[in-house]
Amino acid sequence: MSWGAESSDEELMLGYRDGDAGAFDSLYARHKGGLYRYLLRQCRDAAAAEELFQDVWMNLIRARAGYTVQAKFTTYLYRLAHNRLIDHYRKHARATAVAFDDEGGDALLELPDDRVRPADDILDAKRRAARLLELIATLPPAQREAFLLQQEGGMSVEAIAQATGVTRETAKSRLRYALAKLRQGLGE
């Protein structure tokens, strides 16, 4: 069976569950970039990101037989990624895992302020994008995760809350803080 753009993620995953490897190809093509960037920007280590990326997809492959549609596929996929990331944090840097629980409201004060930059340093779009990535890297992990899930996974606040295992209000708060810090960092 051929799977087109009109097929939903959930249909693709059900197709793969029922033995259609082509469905997995389509699913992988749709989400490999976003998931990889999510992991890369969360752990900021390409080698670790590749390992995590592989683990997440392998977990999904192994769990295919028991897959049922209980939420959006992206929520399911990024939930796997979130859990794997937490394991990674716990294994390699406990401090990061602890910081994950910290809302990091005060971290805003530590961000560099672009407004103090000289006028001739005004960035063009590409440089501003690179600057955004730098700012994202400085965000507290929980806020960064919320922002990346929104950008890479295209997820709503509710879906972010589901994927990260927090309440909707917590997810919303994290996202709001992240956006505020990024805007502040960009001098807006």
Partner 1 sequence: MTVNDRNSGGLPGAEERDSRLDRLYREAERAGPPAHLDAALLAAARREVGARPRPLASALRKWRVPVSIAALVVLSVSLVTLVREEGGDELMKVAPGTPPAPKPSGMAPPPAQPAQADAARPSPPAPAARPEPARPAPRDDRRADAQAELGTMADRPQPFLAAPRVEERAAGSPQAAPDMEDGAMRAPAAVARRSAKSVASGAPAAEVESARMMAGSAQSGVPGQGKAPPWQGYEKEPPQKWLDRIAELRRQGETAVAGEMLAEFKRRFPDHPLPPDPGAR
* Binding-site ranges for partner 1 (CB under 8 A): 16-21, 24-25, 28, 32-33, 36-37, 40, 50, 53-54, 57-58, 61-62, 64-65, 125-126, 128-130, 132-133, 150-151, 154-157, 159-160, 172, 175-176, 179-180, 182-183, 186, 188
The least CB distance from residue 98 to partner 1, in Å, is 25
The least CB distance from residue 164 to partner 1, in Å, is 13
Backbone angles phi, psi at 112, to 5 degrees: -65, 145
Q: Which is nearer to partner 1, 37 or 107 (CB)?
A: 37
The least CB distance from residue 117 to partner 1, in Å, is 17
Q: Dihedral sign, CA of 15, 17, 23, 28?
A: positive
Burial of 156 per CB tally in 10 Å (0-12, 13-18, 19+): middle
Q: Which is nearer to partner 1, 45 or 97 (CB)?
A: 45
Q: Give the burial string for 125-154 (b: 16+ CB within 10 Å, else e).
A: eeeeeebeeebbeebbbbbbbbbbbbebbe
Within 13 Å of residue 9, how many CA atoms lie on the same side as its CB?
16
Cβ-based neighbours of 176, under 8 Å, separated by 6 or more = none
The least CB distance from residue 150 to partner 1, in Å, is 6
Angle (deg, nearest 10), helices 21-43 and 46-62: 150
The least CB distance from residue 182 to partner 1, in Å, is 6
Q: Which is nearer to partner 1, 62 or 95 (CB)?
A: 62
Q: Which is nearer to partner 1, 17 or 97 (CB)?
A: 17
Query: In degrees, to the nearest 5, what angle opens at C-alpha 80 toward C-alphas 156 and 46?
Result: 95
The least CB distance from residue 111 to partner 1, in Å, is 14
Q: Which is nearer to partner 1, 97 or 108 (CB)?
A: 108
Q: Which is nearer to partner 1, 27 or 141 (CB)?
A: 27
| Separation CA 12–CA 27 (nearest Å) | 6
